[in-house]
């Protein structure tokens, strides 16, 4: 196996809450790291660790052939890439620009086309795992872009990530991140429902949180059911049919009991009702007897 090329320089633009710990990991890149931030003081820690600081994105592009961007939003990404003093003023063909900011997929596609016209590859590479994941080198990075560009950034990203995925063409990384974060924040909302129910039932919700974190670390949480390569209904003779009918049976029973408790305590659980109504269909096996006997998720 050919060793990856590590002679080229790496750049990093945007040293905020997420960017700073990622850049700190990138200091170890053998070809050197050049950083830039609108706040000069933000570069001090990473410079002390061995990076070089410059004033503009264009100066970063003069030195680096892989450039990571972690700024606030679509407008800032556009400015860094195509604006005055931006990357495309000086980037040479073959440079790869990696956008870690979560932006609209269409923005990534549009910027990818603009960059491609200059011989530059843009990949959307949003991250999951938070600042602590970056500090530990355990981020998941979802990359959308040409395969060759993915292969070039992968050894760089490995400094901060223990899971770098090629999601597909430009825009696919962002689409994957949005799906992942949809689950994340719906789960947070469900956690607030569970806490309201537990509190109304006289349960210590701090202790409940300890139980949730403990058992999710064992079972994998919601990710434990994300094993199939399609969301289509499951045929009766498919291996997964018995697995997910079992999950459905347990889920419908427990959610129905929770909804009955909520009704007794006058606690509204809209996500709970939706879960009872849609769990079976979502799993691909259709509603079970319990859901069928409680239309629209109503248990009383």
Q: What is the pLDDT of residues 89-108, one digit of tens each?
A: 999 999 999 999 999 999 99
The answer to whether 105 and 135 are in contact (CB under 8 A) is no
The contacts of residue 208 (CB under 8 Å, 6+ apart) are 194, 195, 198
pLDDT for residue 184 is more than 80: yes
Per-residue pLDDT band at 2 (split at 50, 70, 90): low
Say what the pLDDT of residue 169 is. 97
Q: Which helix (H) or strand (E) holds 86?
A: none
Q: 227-297 — its CATH code?
A: 1.10.1040.10
The encoded tokens of residue 221 equal 């949480």
What is the C-alpha to C-alpha distance for residues 59 and 43, in angstroms, rounded to an integer?
15
The contacts of residue 207 (CB under 8 Å, 6+ apart) are none
- The average confidence (pLDDT) of the chain is 94
The contacts of residue 36 (CB under 8 Å, 6+ apart) are 11, 12, 13, 14, 43, 53, 54, 55, 56, 57, 59, 60
Segment 218-228 mean pLDDT: 91
- The dihedral formed by the CA atoms of 134, 136, 137 and 138, expressed in degrees to the nearest 10: -80
Record the pTM: 0.89
The answer to whether 294 and 256 are in contact (CB under 8 A) is yes
What is the C-alpha to C-alpha distance for residues 109 and 202, in angstroms, rounded to an integer?
51
Strand partners, 122: 97
What is the C-alpha to C-alpha distance for residues 81 and 114, in angstroms, rounded to an integer?
9
What is the C-alpha to C-alpha distance for residues 168 and 147, in angstroms, rounded to an integer?
8
Percentage of residues in the chain with pLDDT exceeding 90? 93
Q: Closest by alpha carbon to 297, among 203, 284, 268?
A: 268
Q: 10-175 — its CATH code?
A: 3.40.50.720
Among 45, 152, 177, 207, which one carries the catalytic annotation? 177
Per-residue pLDDT band at 296 (split at 50, 70, 90): low
Q: Closest by alpha carbon to 60, among 38, 45, 44, 30?
A: 38
Q: Positive or negative CA dihedral for 178, 181, 187, 193?
A: negative
Q: Is 152 a catalytic residue?
A: no
What is the C-alpha to C-alpha distance for residues 182 and 165, in angstroms, rounded to an integer?
19
Q: Give domain limits for the chain.
A: 10-175, 227-297
The overall longest dimension of the chain from CA atoms, in Å, is: 67
Segment 143-169 mean pLDDT: 97
């Amino acid at each position: 196996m050919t060793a990856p090329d590590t002679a080229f320089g790496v750049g990093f633009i945007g040293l905020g809450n997420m960017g700073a710990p990622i850049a700190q990991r990138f200091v170890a890149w053998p070809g050197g790291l050049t950083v830039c931030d609108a706040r000069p003081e933000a570069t001090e820690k990473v410079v002390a660790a061995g990076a070089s600081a410059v004033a503009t994105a264009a100066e970063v592009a003069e030195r680096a052939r892989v450039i990571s961007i972690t700024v606030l939003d679509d407008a800032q990404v556009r400015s860094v890439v195509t604006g005055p003093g931006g990357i495309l003023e000086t980037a040479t063909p073959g440079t790869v620009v990696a956008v870690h900011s979560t932006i609209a997929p269409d923005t990534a596609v549009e910027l990818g086309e603009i960059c491609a016209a200059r011989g530059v590859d843009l990949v959307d590479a949003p991250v999951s795992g938070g600042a602590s994941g970056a500090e530990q080198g355990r981020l998941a990075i979802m990359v959308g872009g040409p395969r060759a560009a993915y292969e070039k950034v992968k050894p760089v990203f490995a400094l901060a990530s223990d899971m770098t995925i090629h999601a597909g063409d430009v825009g696919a990384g962002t689409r994957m991140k949005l799906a992942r974060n949809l689950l994340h924040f719906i789960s947070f909302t469900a956690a607030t429902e569970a806490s309201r129910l537990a509190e109304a039932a006289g349960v210590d919700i701090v202790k409940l949180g300890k139980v949730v974190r403990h058992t999710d670390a064992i079972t994998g949480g919601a990710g434990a059911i994300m094993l199939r390569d399609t969301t289509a209904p499951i045929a009766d003779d498919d291996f997964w049919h018995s697995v997910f009918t079992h999950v459905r049976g347990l889920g419908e029973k427990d959610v129905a009991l929770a909804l009955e408790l909520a009704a007794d305590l006058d606690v509204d659980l809209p996500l709970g009702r939706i879960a009872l109504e849609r769990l079976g269909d979502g799993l691909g096996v259709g509603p079970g007897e319990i859901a069928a006997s409680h239309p629209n998720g109503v248990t009383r």
